[in-house]
Amino acid sequence: MNSTVSIAPAALRAELPKSSVARLSLAYAIATNGMILTPFLVAAVMLRFHLSEGIATQVAGVEILGVALSCALLPRWISRAAGFFTIAGVLGTIVGQALSIVAPTVLLIGIVRGVTGIFEGVLFVVVASGISQRASADRLWGQINVIAGIINGGILVVISYLPSEWLGQGVFMLLVGVCIVMAPAIHGIGEFARHVTQARSRNKLPLKLVLTIWAVTVLIYGVQASQWAVAGIVGSHAGLSTWTVGILLSLSSLLGFAGAVIPSQRSSRKHRLAIIFVAQMVMIGSLIWFFGSTGNKSYFLSQLALNCAFFAIIPFLTGLLSEVDPDGSLVARTVVVTFIGGGVGTAVAGDLFTQYGGMHFAYVLCIGVAAAVPFVWLALRGATAHNLQTGGHQLS
């Protein structure tokens, strides 16, 4: 069976200057804040409409579904008219956040969150198309994750300090303000995707490489989502208050993006395999530490180590995809794959935790991380072989 399909040029485009990366990072922060802020969005909907956690989670999940729809169905259209869709994505997200403040019913806020997610997904595709087939794509994604992580982590911390009576609408008011402030810098980032849709050559999309990266993605995101889903329960078992858990998780998320500093360094590229392997071992160790937490210090530090390791891995994987991605559509559709991994992980976490207990559940998650190790090796080996086969080089 032929494992390749006709796709795009092997030549890599030049790296982007720091100012351009910063602008893409702002768009990426807007595109991903709905996913990163999910626990607080759930809490806001619960408080405002007096819903159960299950129903509130479903309302928040509609936003993620909207992101997935854009990434799955619209990437080619978005990349071909990236300038227009950049404006539409920013304005649509601002309007969606603003309408979330005043939506009077559960049905309406569910619809609004879903539409907001569609526009957030549009911005994600614009960013992915701007990085597609760039030299040192993993370094660029590392920089984007660091900057966007600081922004979204900062939002997390601010929200965690909001009085509970403000949470129901204050979250969305804050997001409106952040989007408005960043909008002028984001305007015009569509130009970075301008050359992506030009004439295609006879080179091939390496499906084996893509599938091995997707396997790693499903496993790593599935483990991360499972751990995050029961983080509150683990904190409660460790004797921490709900407020303390929220603060510690917010701070660890903010600081955890520092892990992306590693792939953002040019010298890290030649050590990718070793770095990812060490990060996976750190994930395993921090999972065991986290589920054995007995107080503030162990709970916070283990979560911080896990987040840092996670964000040390992800930019390398995304970079591998971007270097063979013709127009951002491959990275965009990988988002759907991550949602599958994250969705499955979240869905089974509660039952597995209840059935096996904290430490045994940690061992299950460790097995998931360990299972990704051979796929990482295959992915990097496949990327090297693909580069040699296509003779990829950088465009000025």
Q: Which pLDDT score is estimated for 280?
A: 95
Q: For helices 164-186 and 137-160, give the axis angle rounded to 10 degrees.
A: 150
Q: Return the closest-CA partner of residue 41 out of 95, 116, 122, 126.
A: 116
Q: How far is CA 199 from CA 23, 149, 202, 203, 206, in A?
A: 27, 35, 10, 12, 19
Four-residue CA torsion sign, 265, 178, 46, 255: positive
Q: Which pLDDT score is estimated for 89?
A: 95
Residue 353 identity (one-letter amino acid)? F
For the entire predicted model, the pTM comes to: 0.86
Q: Which pLDDT score is estimated for 203?
A: 55
3-state helix, strand, coil in the chain (%, to 5): 80, 5, 15
pLDDT in tens, 353-362: 888 888 888 9
Q: Which pLDDT score is estimated for 324?
A: 85
Parts of the chain with a pLDDT under 50: 1-9, 196-202, 393-396
Q: Which pLDDT score is estimated for 266?
A: 86
Q: Which pLDDT score is estimated for 381?
A: 84
Q: Which pLDDT score is estimated for 28?
A: 95
- Domains of the chain, start order: 14-196 (1.20.1250.20), 205-390 (1.20.1250.20)
Separation CA 72–CA 66 (nearest Å):
10
The answer to whether the CB of 120 falls within 8 A of the CB of 66 is yes
Q: How far is CA 145 from CA 28, 152, 310, 343, in A?
A: 8, 10, 11, 22
